[in-house]
């Protein structure tokens, strides 16, 4: 099977910019998911990956982040649609590093 | 003494602000101009209330007074299809909308009228999930529709079965809560996608006709079944009628279209609507149309969340592959259609009561789409569509659906990498699921300590999560899965304070008994006795929720039937039994959801360490401290906060976690529900930790009154200090088979670890 990862897609009008990945970090991330699920048998995990600093700024200046999406739990939502108390709870969770 | 010292902060923000910020032309994201414009259209509209369904229901119910409940209900559902909007917008390739306006909610008045009758004046301006409503519709609701329905909803009828005190406690007490169940009938479902895409509704129409003709009028069972089959036939005809109207709309729009390319597209869409969803899909675009139409049909017929696409990359792949090989489709074109489906389903907002929006606000309705996993023979099942579905989310950047990867050791690294790159983008997509654990959960679904009715083949071929995480099987399972909510942090508060809820927090019963007196602190003179008191509180809360849920379940089965859900359940037509009454191969729910797990565990561990192992302070002192929200007890709080915590691979804490976890699961799994299945446990109540936290007093882990309790099954906020792998090892100690309604784990890894930002 030739996947789009190998063949690429021809999308001249696309708004999306491919990011530059940090390979060591991506490898750690991939391995964490494999280990936690396939080795430890944890049923489900999902990640919030927006940096804490960004969320703190978005809380102070919502007008600059009209379409910022975040994972709350089980679903994603526009940052500006959720209550301040939920924003605070997300900011207050544990931000892990490798 | 503590009442005046506790302040629960008044909060603002919420979707009212978000809608204002997003209105206009922002968020035109997509892989092509077409999807960018469709996304722009989505964001230019604010959530709005559509009363078309309410009108259809009211009309039919008024005309059929005295008829059997199922007859009225099926007729009303047919009338809903006959009154659906027939608008076709520019740029669209998938046809049909559940509402007159984009981002509308064609809401279920028969489940919401009891609260809306009082709260309608606040609906446009409420903080959480406000809805626009036109002046004309407002007047019709106020004067005609709501007065007709206000005493007929499931909640209004449930009120006759319980005392006013029980009614309040189950909705606003904040420990044993069933408010999520009573307004959300018709939810959490993976319809038989493979079948409906391959055959269309024509198949169910013909089957119902045949079964109706075969009924024996001398068999007492035929009395109900006659109405059942006649109703199914009428609903099928109404769906056919809707598709014809949509076809005519496409043709009309084609006639007015100047651009010859778009004109041809619209003519082809008109032809498509003559084929599907009534008949078999002949190509990928047809199959996408059926996938979209059936999804929104169910979201209109049902009031609840989580209509799920399940193993989308599996049942769609034959159509994709055939079209690619025939040269009639490109991966880019397929991607564009998938993005359009994501945008359309994001338009479909969830309408909830004000109390529920306070807990679950954000309009999200939990559609879900999976990729990856294994096939029925245990081979890796991933294909090109698995990649395209993940990539489509990077371009469309929509909140819905929740896309997820079913991960197995056999899943290729390249697909996992694709999913991790999507995760690194920061939108929260995708979810990751372990396939083997999913199989184990489904093997006991609805079966208590026994084996479910699913064969291993059913599970391997059609098993996937529903909504956020709830295990299900395509076309074989029905039941509301997020029903009883048990705040175990509130249970621990009650165990320490002999059954009380704190003063000065949100909800009812503040400073009063909210569960039952399980013993004064002095009587709990060993840790074992204390732990028993905690578990007894949890058991009490579970059983109270159960006793309420089975009443509502009975009401729903008798009066709130769901013909389209029923058709899309394998074998339900042959059985002649509606989905709500047990027509599925595996009936599940209502289920029990645990909230505040780590807060409860850390609180028990802190007491074990400080009170019983170190003997630093007596339990009475901890009781006084939490009742005072730790004011004047700062030293005690510091001792409690220094105790070991769940999420650090420390068995001192994790052993308690495993016992609480298993006790909750075992207690739940012993309870039998109205349809005969056993209750399933879950730990996945999204952000409700904030709302339930606001209703919970200070807890012995040092958390202050009103602050959020721990979310889902995650470690307490900032308590997992030994890195992600140590946290993962703690999570890996829990027995997932006891939680056959699913578990949800949030983790936070910063973007800057994985990409240049």
Residues of A in Cβ contact (< 8 Å) with B721: 94
In this structure, what token pair is assigned to residue B83? 């009154």
pLDDT digits (tens, 9 = 90+) for B345-395: 999 999 999 888 877 778 889 999 999 999 999 999 999 999 999 999 999
Residue A1's pLDDT is 65
Reduced to 3 states, what is the DSSP secondary structure of residue B433?
Answer: strand
Query: B280 — phi, psi (to 5°)?
Result: -70, 145
B455 interfaces chain A, CB cutoff of 8 Å: no
B178 DSSP assignment: -
In this structure, what token pair is assigned to residue B78? 């047919």
Residue A79's pLDDT is 86
pLDDT digits (tens, 9 = 90+) for B426-461: 888 999 999 999 999 999 999 998 999 999 999 999
Mean pLDDT of the residues in chain B: 94
Q: Which of A12, A17, A37, A55 to mutate to test the interface with B (most CBs of B within 10 A)?
A: A37
Query: B737 — phi, psi (to 5°)?
Result: -65, -20
Q: Which of B235, B205, B189 is nearest to B60 (CA)?
A: B235
User: In whole angstroms, what is the distance from residue B654 CA to residue B507 CA?
Assistant: 31
pLDDT surpassing 60 at residue B563: yes
Q: Is B406 left (phi over 0), alpha (psi -120 to 50) or beta?
A: beta
A63: pLDDT confidence band, cut at 50, 70 and 90? Answer: confident
**Across B84-134, where does the E strand assignment appear?**
104-106
B25: pLDDT confidence band, cut at 50, 70 and 90? Answer: very low
Residues of A in Cβ contact (< 8 Å) with B388: 4
User: In whole angstroms, what is the distance from residue B54 CA to residue B141 CA?
Assistant: 9
Q: Are A55 and A91 in contact (CB under 8 A)?
A: yes
The percent of chain A in helix, strand and coil, each rounded to the nearest 5, is 45, 15, 40
The predicted model gives B487-514 an average pLDDT of: 97
Q: How many Cα atoms sit within 13 Å of B344 on the Cβ side?
A: 28
Strands B176-177, B484-487: pairing is: antiparallel
Residue B400's pLDDT is 93
ipTM of the complex: 0.95
In this structure, what token pair is assigned to residue B348? 């479909």
A37 DSSP assignment: I
**Residue ranges of B 395-434 with Cβ closer than 8 A to chain A:** 395, 397, 399-400, 402, 407-409, 413-418, 420-421, 423-434
The predicted model gives B466-470 an average pLDDT of: 94
pLDDT digits (tens, 9 = 90+) for A27-46: 999 999 999 999 999 999 99
User: In whole angstroms, what is the distance from residue B368 CA to residue B473 CA?
Assistant: 13
Q: Are A90 and A48 in contact (CB under 8 A)?
A: yes
Specify burial of residue A11 (Cβ count, 10 A radius: 0-12, 13-18, 19+).
middle
pLDDT digits (tens, 9 = 90+) for B676-689: 999 999 998 888 89
Question: Looking at B65-79, B120-134, B308-322, B609-623, which range is the least confident one?
Answer: B120-134
pLDDT digits (tens, 9 = 90+) for B65-109: 999 999 999 999 999 999 999 999 999 999 999 999 999 999 999
Q: Are B35 and B395 in contact (CB under 8 A)?
A: yes
User: In whole angstroms, what is the distance from residue B386 CA to residue B312 CA?
Assistant: 8
Q: How many CB atoms lie within 10 A of CB B741?
A: 31
Q: Which of B743, B601, B745 is nearest to B680 (CA)?
A: B743
- Alpha-carbon distances, residue B604 vs A23, B433, B512, B719 (angstroms): 41, 30, 22, 15
B21: pLDDT confidence band, cut at 50, 70 and 90? Answer: low
**Residue ranges of B 168-227 with Cβ closer than 8 A to chain A:** none
User: In whole angstroms, what is the distance from residue B97 CA to residue B94 CA?
Assistant: 9
Our CA-based measurement puts residue A79 at a distance from the nearest CA of chain B, in whole angstroms, of: 8
User: In whole angstroms, what is the distance from residue B44 CA to residue B41 CA?
Assistant: 5
pLDDT digits (tens, 9 = 90+) for B129-173: 899 999 999 999 999 999 999 999 999 999 999 999 998 899 889
User: In whole angstroms, what is the distance from residue B533 CA to residue B609 CA?
Assistant: 17
Q: What percent of chain B has pLDDT over 70?
A: 97
Residue B465's pLDDT is 97
pTM for the structure as a whole:
0.95
**Residue ranges of B 490-509 with Cβ closer than 8 A to chain A:** none
Q: How many Cα atoms sit within 13 Å of B406 on the Cβ side?
A: 32
In this structure, what token pair is assigned to residue B35? 């999807």
The predicted model gives B293-318 an average pLDDT of: 97
The contacts of residue B700 (CB under 8 Å, 6+ apart) are: B492, B496, B603, B604, B606, B607, B622, B625, B626, B640
Q: Are B250 and B270 in contact (CB under 8 A)?
A: yes
Query: B714 — phi, psi (to 5°)?
Result: -70, 155
User: In whole angstroms, what is the distance from residue B687 CA to residue A83 CA?
Assistant: 11
**Residue ranges of A 22-41 with Cβ closer than 8 A to chain B:** 22, 25-26, 28-30, 32-41
pLDDT surpassing 90 at residue B567: yes
pLDDT surpassing 50 at residue B11: no
**Closest CB from B14, B434, B752 relative to A82:** B14
**Closest CB from A4, A44, A75 relative to B433:** A44
In this structure, what token pair is assigned to residue B614? 């170190």
pLDDT digits (tens, 9 = 90+) for B745-754: 999 998 999 9
User: In whole angstroms, what is the distance from residue B700 CA to residue B607 CA?
Assistant: 7
Higher-scoring residue by pLDDT: B705, B183: B705
pLDDT surpassing 70 at residue B12: no
């Amino acid at each position: 099977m030739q996947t789009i990862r190998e063949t690429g897609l021809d999308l001249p009008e696309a708004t999306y910019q491919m990011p530059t990945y940090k390979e060591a970090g991506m490898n750690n991330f991939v391995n964490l998911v494999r280990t936690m699920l396939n080795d430890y048998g944890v049923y489900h995990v999902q990640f919030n990956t927006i940096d804490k600093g960004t969320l703190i700024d978005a809380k102070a200046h919502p007008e600059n982040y009209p379409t910022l999406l975040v994972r709350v739990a089980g679903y994603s939502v526009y940052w500006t649609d959720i209550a301040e108390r939920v924003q605070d709870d997300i900011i207050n969770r544990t931000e892990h590093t490798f | 003494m503590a009442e005046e010292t506790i302040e629960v902060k008044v909060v603002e923000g919420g979707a009212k602000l978000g809608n204002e910020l997003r209105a206009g032309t922002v968020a035109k994201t997509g892989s092509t101009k077409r999807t960018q414009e469709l996304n722009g259209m989505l964001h230019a509209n604010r959530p709005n209330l559509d009363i078309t369904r309410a009108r259809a229901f009211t009309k039919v119910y008024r005309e059929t007074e005295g008829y059997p409940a199922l007859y009225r209900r099926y007729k009303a559902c047919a009338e809903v299809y006959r009154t659906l909007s027939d608008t076709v917008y520019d740029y669209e390739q998938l046809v049909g909308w559940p509402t007159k306006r984009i981002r509308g909610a064609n809401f279920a008045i028969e489940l919401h009228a009891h609260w809306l009758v009082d709260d309608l004046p606040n609906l446009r301006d409420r903080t959480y999930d406000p809805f626009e409503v036109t002046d004309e519709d407002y007047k019709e609701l106020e004067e005609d529709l709501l007065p007709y329905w206000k005493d007929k909803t499931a909640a209004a009828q449930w009120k006759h079965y319980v005392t006013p005190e029980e009614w309040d406690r189950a909705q606003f007490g904040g420990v044993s809560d069933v408010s999520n169940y009573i307004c959300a009938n018709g939810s959490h479902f993976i319809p038989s996608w493979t079948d409906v895409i391959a055959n269309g509704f024509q198949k169910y129409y013909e089957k119902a006709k045949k079964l109706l003709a075969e009924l024996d009028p001398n068999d007492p069972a035929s009395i109900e079944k006659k109405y059942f089959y006649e109703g199914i036939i009428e609903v099928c005809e109404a769906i056919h009628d809707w598709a014809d109207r949509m076809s005519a709309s496409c043709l009309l729009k084609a006639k007015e279209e100047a651009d010859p390319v778009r004109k041809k597209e619209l003519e082809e869409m008109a032809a498509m609507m003559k084929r599907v969803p009534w008949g078999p899909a002949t190509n990928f675009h047809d199959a996408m149309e059926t996938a979209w139409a059936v999804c929104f049909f169910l979201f209109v017929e049902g009031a609840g969340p989580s209509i799920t696409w399940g193993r989308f990359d599996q049942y769609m792949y034959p159509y994709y592959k055939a079209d690619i090989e025939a040269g009639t489709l490109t991966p880019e074109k397929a991607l564009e259609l998938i993005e359009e489906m994501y945008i359309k389903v994001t338009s479909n907002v969830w309408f909830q009561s004000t109390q529920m929006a306070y807990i679950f606000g954000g309009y999200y309705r939990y559609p879900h789409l999976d990729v990856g996993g294994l096939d029925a023979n245990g081979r890796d099942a991933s294909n090109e569509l698995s990649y395209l579905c993940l990539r489509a989310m990077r371009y469309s950047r929509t909140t819905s659906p929740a896309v997820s990867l079913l991960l197995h050791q056999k899943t290729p690294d390249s697909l996992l990498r694709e999913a991790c790159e999507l995760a690194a983008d920061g939108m929260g997509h995708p979810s990751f699921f372990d396939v083997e654990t999913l199989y184990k959960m489904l093997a006991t679904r609805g079966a208590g300590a026994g084996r479910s009715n699913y064969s291993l083949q059913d599970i391997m071929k059609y098993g996937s999560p529903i909504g956020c995480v709830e295990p299900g099987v395509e076309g074989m399972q029905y039941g509301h899965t997020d029903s009883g909510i048990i705040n175990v942090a509130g249970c621990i508060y009650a165990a320490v304070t002999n059954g009380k809820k704190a003063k000065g927090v949100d909800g009812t019963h503040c400073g009063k008994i909210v569960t039952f007196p399980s013993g004064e602190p002095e009587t709990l003179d060993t840790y074992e006795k204390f732990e028993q008191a905690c578990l007894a509180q949890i058991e009490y809360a579970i059983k109270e929720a159960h006793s309420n849920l089975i009443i509502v379940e009975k009401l729903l089965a008798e009066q709130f039937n769901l013909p389209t859900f029923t058709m899309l359940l394998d074998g339900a037509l042959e059985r002649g039994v509606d989905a709500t009454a047990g027509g599925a191969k595996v009936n599940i729910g209502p289920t029990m959801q645990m909230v505040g797990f780590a807060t409860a565990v850390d609180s028990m561990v802190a007491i074990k360490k400080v009170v019983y192992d170190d003997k630093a302070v007596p339990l009475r002192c901890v009781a006084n401290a939490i009742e005072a929200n730790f004011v004047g007890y700062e030293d005690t709080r510091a001792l409690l906060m220094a105790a070991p915590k769940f999420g650090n691979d420390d068995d001192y804490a994790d052993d308690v976690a495993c016992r609480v976890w298993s006790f909750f699961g075992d207690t739940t799994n012993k309870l039998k529900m109205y349809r005969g299945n056993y209750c399933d446990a879950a730990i996945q109540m999204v952000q409700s930790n904030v709302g339930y936290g606001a209703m919970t007093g200070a807890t012995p882990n040092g958390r202050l009154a009103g602050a959020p309790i721990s979310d889902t099954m995650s470690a307490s906020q900032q308590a997992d200090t030994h890195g992600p792998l140590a946290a993962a090892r703690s999570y890996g100690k829990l027995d997932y088979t006891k939680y056959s309604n699913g578990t949800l784990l949030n983790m936070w890894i910063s973007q800057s670890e994985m990409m240049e930002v």
